[in-house]
Amino acid sequence: MVRVGVDGRIQEEFLVDFPKDVEIVRIPEGISEPIEIDFWIPPFARKNSQDTFRMLRGVKVVQSILAGVDWILPWLPKDITLCDGQGVHDVMVSEWVLAAILTSLKRFYVYRDQQHRKEWRGAGEPGDTVLHVGEQYQVLGDDLAGKTVLIVGYGSIGKAIEARLKPFEVNVLRIARTARTEPEVSTVGDLHRLLPDADIVVVIVPMTPKTKGMIGIQEIALMKRGALLVNAARGPVVVTEVLVEALEESRIFAALDVTDPEPPPQGHPLWNAPHCIITPHVASSTPALLHRAYRLAADQVRRFAGGEPLQNVVAEDGY
């Protein structure tokens, strides 16, 4: 019988889809004695996962419920099959990206600050970047319709982002590891060519040695003045010092769910950088997350128990 290790605190409602002929083994927090399992689902709150793994025996498969596995790769033995949570986060992250884009373009954060100060200013205040229409009319907000959006990392989340952008009549450019057609997808080698065409750049790549710092001084310099950079990937994908400089010079806007360092320490310039909104790595934090994650895990357990190929197997390059 396949023994499946799960977080000892997980409620039964999340386990109803698991095959009945497997044994669910609840692993307590602060495990003190070795436990034999075949298939391990690390908890969502992953801080102690490495310590927990040291007490597990017989593990053949680790199924992460997170899309990114950069946190587990450094310590997981190479002979254990690692699967990521691809597909689990599509809805949540793509909705966050859409909300971040609209919030940034419509400058809701500026009006929220004005509301707290009990101010009524349709064009913002000194220091805000305004858009001039003719000689007399100036506005803060902009339209999403007609914009060109570059999605850097056209995987399952990237596709979900495009689906949610489609009703807004945008032009979408796509970048992935390999070129494709129908729809047209360019390679990372085309990033510099495509950046100057984009009004909005959405970064949704996995964290690997190749993606660390991929949005740096050259890339931000190639972006249009006034373009929006959205980072829903990992903080180190964007070079923070370069980003802060561009924000302080009012060259670009930014919407960040992740930062480097994360969180920024007290006094870090990113906290007060203009034209920037930050959320604390919560793009996937909705009530549906665990339901979707454990449905995926249940299907993977069924495949493993039946000798079928697993999905979302992480390759040597980290995704």
Catalytic amino acids? 234, 262, 281
The SS3 of residue 186 is: strand
Angle at 139 between CA 133 and CA 143, to 5 degrees: 90
> What backbone torsions phi and psi does residue 12 show, to the nearest 5 degrees?
-60, -30
Distance CA(11)–CA(26), nearest Å, equals: 11
Phi-psi region of 30 (alpha: psi -120 to 50; beta: other; left: phi over 0): left
Q: Which residues face 170 on adjacent strands?
A: none
For residues 148-185, one letter each, b for 16 or more C-beta atoms within 10 angstroms of the residue's C-beta and e for the rest, the string is bbbbbbbbbbbebbbebbeeeebebbbbbbeeeeeeeb
Look at strands 131-133 and 61-63 and give their pairing.
unpaired
Is there a contact between 65 and 285 (Cβ–Cβ < 8 Å)?
no
The SS3 of residue 150 is: strand
